[in-house]
Amino acid sequence: MVYENATFARRDVGLSKFRNTLKVDIDRQLGRRGAFDDVGVNLKLRGTFDGVYRLNEDTYGNKAGGAVRLENTVGIPGSSVAHGDGLGSPTSPLTAGLAGLPGGGAFGFNSTDPSAPRYNPNEGMVVLGEHLHRTDGGVAFAVPVRPCDKDSRGCIKDYLDATRQELESPEFNDRWDFIREAYVTGSVPFDDGSALFMKVGKQQVVWGRTDLFRVLDVINPVDYSRNNIYDELQDIRIPMWIMQAEYRAGATETFDDLNFAVVWNFDKFRPHNIGQCGSPNVILDAGCFMRGMKNLWDNGGTVANFANLGLPGLAATDFGPNQIGIRKAHLPNWSLSNTQLGVKLEGQKSGVGFSLNALTYRSQLPSLRGGIPANNPFDPVGAVDTQPQPHPYPYLIAFDVHFPRVNLIGGSMDLQVDAIKSVFRLEAALTEGEEFPNGLRKRLFSESRVFRYVVGWDRPTFIPFLNKTRAFLISAQLFGQHLLDHELEDRPLGKVGMPDWKDNNIFTLLLKGFYMNDRLSPQVIMAHDFRGEATTIAPSIDWLVSDNLKLTVGANVKVGRGARKFDDCRTCNPFHPFSASPGQGPNDGSLGLGGFEPLGRFRAGPIGMAQEEDELQFVLQYKF
């Protein structure tokens, strides 16, 4: 049994984690049972309580957020307006200009009357991206940040809808995540020395040979809300109910060892936990974008710097419900066709280990698909837009969330080179079926094949001026991603297409030392995103005080460019002719006007989007 306390403090925020964890491991070997040898039962339990939602509730709990103002570069009535006071509201002097629209238009939403439907008050909010960047002439909107039992606005049913209790203790949910592992193992031996190994139950399946990067290791979803991308995968993989069957052929005429494995993930689909807005770790700040967009769809809201009224600048605009935003998430129901199946051939030849892998699975990352039925705020009565509303509009920022089917083929290899005292690790995979935002398409997304790879290098190295008697571990990795069907064009006001980089690389380096008979271990981990122009540096010291007590002190510091800009679809013209720029046709798509939100996050990457999340970290572990 292990107790752990992790206490983190974030710059300009204060306490960002006060997580108390209890882990229990139970392993029992049962020996031979029927046809099976070496039968074993394994059970791992983990329960967590993170007190940050109570100790720092002004930032992460029931009192988080407040009233917000949205940038309004048109300057009328001022350089910013309160949520609910944009163009279309009774308080805006610009609203009178909408009287000439058919039926007077349908802009505006309910921010003042709690007794009326779709009440969306200016409270418990932040401005999207405010912790990282200024609006700077781009779009932004208010995002609710309180737990979903305190404020249900923007909560996506069965996806991003956690209560405070579920945020504090994420393992105690209806999927019984407090059971980290619960599986049975056993082998059926054959006369020729081969064997069939079986492992059935709730478990993690580790494919691949590299750390941090998920090239082949994609069977289990990941909980990024625990500590963004920085925790070890074994701590943040979400266990699933899986059956593994592995035929262990042993040595053959060609190979020193050869195995063939089938993996069947028969559990109900689970996406990644990307972090709910209002919690400390929201990878790419994507959970905040999605919660804000869901609130816009359900209740309407004010969008900064949106409407072009023929005046200098752009007017903050009040959209009504069911006009823009995210409507719902389509989480696949359990069915045989929605399960995931993989095969792996693994072997060894002359000291070189290798694997060939294939997997069909559901993407664990969300894809936003446009083309859903929506209402036209310019023409609610159908004077020009004669098709009955709601109906789909091209290039409209109104989406459903989907998790598409993905097929993967790949392989891995590791080889030891004694001459230079090094081990090299390689991993590569090609996928088809992944979906990406794409402003060139009418539904604002498209598929692309993706090639990913990792090259890793490990070497024990003496650094005499630091330690004359014990080698340091040096481990380096280069991750690469290439989108084979990338689309990007230059338009009059900027680039339009897929915000993800066509080619990108991330480099990581670990330097780890050992002192005091390995009881004191300092290390530093660095990661650099080349296209995102962002770096994280994480020094730490592990001190094994006794056989039972371990202390870790560390930090996580980011440097780099930070937020990036990209086309935001303000000039997409979905409601032609009302939303057209001069000379713009009904199906021309965006002209390329952009800002930090919403798509700049894909240019910045997870490190760049966390530039303001420097932390000091203290971890205590006690083994009973």
pLDDT tops 90 at residue 81: yes
Closest CA to 500 of 442, 434, 453, 456: 434
Whether 500 maps to a domain, the answer reads yes
Q: How far is residue 322's CA from residue 392's CA, in Å, rounded to a whole number?
A: 12
Sign of CA dihedral 226, 232, 234, 235: negative
When pLDDT is cut at 50, 70 and 90, the band that residue 525 belongs to is: very high
Whether 417 maps to a domain, the answer reads no
CB 478 within 8 A of CB 454: yes
CB 281 within 8 A of CB 226: yes
Sign of CA dihedral 227, 232, 233, 234: negative
CB 400 within 8 A of CB 329: yes
Q: For the chain, how are helix, strand and coil distributed in percent, rounded to 5?
A: 10, 45, 45
* Measured torsion, CA atoms of residues 130, 133, 134, 139, in degrees rounded to the nearest 10: -80
Whether 355 maps to a domain, the answer reads no
pLDDT tops 90 at residue 351: no
Residue 209 has a pLDDT of 83
Q: Which two tokens stand for residue 417?
A: 């080179």
Whether 611 maps to a domain, the answer reads yes
Tens of pLDDT, residue by residue over 302-328, are 999 999 998 999 999 999 999 999 999
pLDDT tops 90 at residue 455: yes
Number of domains in the chain: 1
Average pLDDT of the residues in 18-42: 93
Q: How far is residue 7's CA from residue 551's CA, in Å, rounded to a whole number?
A: 12
Average pLDDT of the residues in 510-534: 96
Whole-number mean pLDDT of the chain? 96
When pLDDT is cut at 50, 70 and 90, the band that residue 229 belongs to is: confident
Whether 183 maps to a domain, the answer reads no
Q: Which helix (H) or strand (E) holds 306?
A: strand 301-307
CB 70 within 8 A of CB 80: yes
When pLDDT is cut at 50, 70 and 90, the band that residue 57 belongs to is: very high
Tens of pLDDT, residue by residue over 602-612, are 999 999 999 99
Residue 208 has a pLDDT of 82
The least confident of 95-104, 206-215, 475-484 is: 206-215
Q: How far is residue 194's CA from residue 258's CA, in Å, rounded to a whole number?
A: 10
Strand-strand pairing, 340-349 and 352-362? antiparallel
Strands (E), 484-580: 488-491, 494-497, 503-512, 520-529, 534-544, 549-560, 566-567
Q: Which two tokens stand for residue 110?
A: 């309910």
Q: Number of helices and strands (H, E) in the chain? A: 6, 33
Q: How far is residue 208's CA from residue 493's CA, in Å, rounded to a whole number?
A: 43
Tens of pLDDT, residue by residue over 256-295, are 999 999 999 999 999 999 999 999 999 999 999 999 999 9
Q: What is the CA radius of gyration of the chain?
A: 27
Give the contacts of 517 (CB within 8 A, at least 6 positions apart). none
Whether 261 maps to a domain, the answer reads no
Whether 515 maps to a domain, the answer reads yes
Residue 35 has a pLDDT of 86
Could you tell me the maximum CA-CA distance found in the chain, to the nearest angstrom? Answer: 88
pLDDT tops 90 at residue 236: yes
Q: Where are the alpha helices (DSSP H) in 237-285?
A: none
Share of the chain above pLDDT 90, in %: 92
Q: How far is residue 231's CA from residue 273's CA, in Å, rounded to a whole number?
A: 14
Domain that holds residue 482: 451-624
**Residue reference for tokens 């610009």:** 94
When pLDDT is cut at 50, 70 and 90, the band that residue 247 belongs to is: very high
Say which amino acid occupies 439: G
Residue 33 has a pLDDT of 87
Q: How many CB atoms lie within 10 A of CB 150?
A: 17
Tens of pLDDT, residue by residue over 457-467, are 999 999 999 99
Whether 461 maps to a domain, the answer reads yes
Sign of CA dihedral 163, 156, 126, 96: negative
pLDDT tops 90 at residue 141: yes
Q: How far is residue 129's CA from residue 142's CA, in Å, rounded to a whole number?
A: 10
Residue 551 has a pLDDT of 98
**Residue reference for tokens 């056989």:** 547
Q: Which helix (H) or strand (E) holds 291?
A: helix 286-299
Q: How far is residue 56's CA from residue 119's CA, in Å, rounded to a whole number?
A: 27
Closest CA to 51 of 168, 167, 183: 168
Q: How far is residue 57's CA from residue 22's CA, in Å, rounded to a whole number?
A: 23
CB 453 within 8 A of CB 215: yes
When pLDDT is cut at 50, 70 and 90, the band that residue 66 belongs to is: very high
Give the contacts of 382 (CB within 8 A, at least 6 positions apart). 102, 388, 389
Residue 211 has a pLDDT of 78
